[in-house]
Amino acid sequence: MSRQEKPHNNRVPFGRKLPPYTAFIAKLVGIYVTVICVVLIAGKGSSIEMMSSMVRNPALLFLLGLLGMTAGLAITLVHNVWSGGALPVMVTLVGWIAALKGITLMVLSAVGRGSVILDALQYGRFFYLYMGFATLVGLYLAISGFRAESKGQ
């Protein structure tokens, strides 16, 4: 270890050890989700229209599914942790949900049924509910990730 590198303390409250990459992934995903939600909420009408257009385009939907699956698998391959507190488990859940969502989007695009997603979820009707929930998850991940890092975990 060089002089400039400081030792990394992976401790969380009650002596549990925080898995490697937890804080980094939490901050990355948390900021990403929060920013996207704020932007979508700022322009609800155009956001709903944009989502509607995207699910009607099979090639774009497949590409988005491929990217989502890849991101989800990347998270789960480096961080498949089901113990150690709420933050590590939440990061793992986000990875698995992203991977499964990506696979679902690819399947729906391949069978030409992408609009089923928005219809089933009643996206326009419950827009603020979905965005509010996602924003809270994003804020939780970002804040928890920065807190874990500031405590030297």
pTM (global) more than 0.85: no
Cα(83)–Cα(38) distance, rounded to whole angstroms? Answer: 31
Cα(17)–Cα(12) distance, rounded to whole angstroms? Answer: 6
Paired strand residues for 11 = 17
Q: Cβ(87)–Cβ(153) under 8 Å?
A: no
N residues, the chain: 153
How many Cα atoms sit within 13 Å of 65 on the Cβ side? 21
Most confident of the following: 78-87, 97-106, 108-117:
97-106
Both tokens of residue 85? Answer: 């507190």
Domain limits, the chain: 19-150
Say what the alpha-carbon torsion angle 108, 98, 29, 44 is, to the nearest 10 degrees.
Answer: 30
pLDDT digits (tens, 9 = 90+) for 2-47: 445 444 444 444 455 677 799 999 999 999 999 999 999 999 999 9
Both tokens of residue 33? Answer: 């989700």
pLDDT digits (tens, 9 = 90+) for 42-75: 999 999 999 999 999 999 999 999 999 999 999 9
C-alpha to C-alpha distances, 118 to 12, 34, 38, 121, 149, nearest whole angstrom: 40, 21, 20, 5, 37
pLDDT digits (tens, 9 = 90+) for 103-147: 999 999 999 898 888 889 999 999 999 999 999 999 999 999 999
The overall longest dimension of the chain from CA atoms, in Å, is: 57
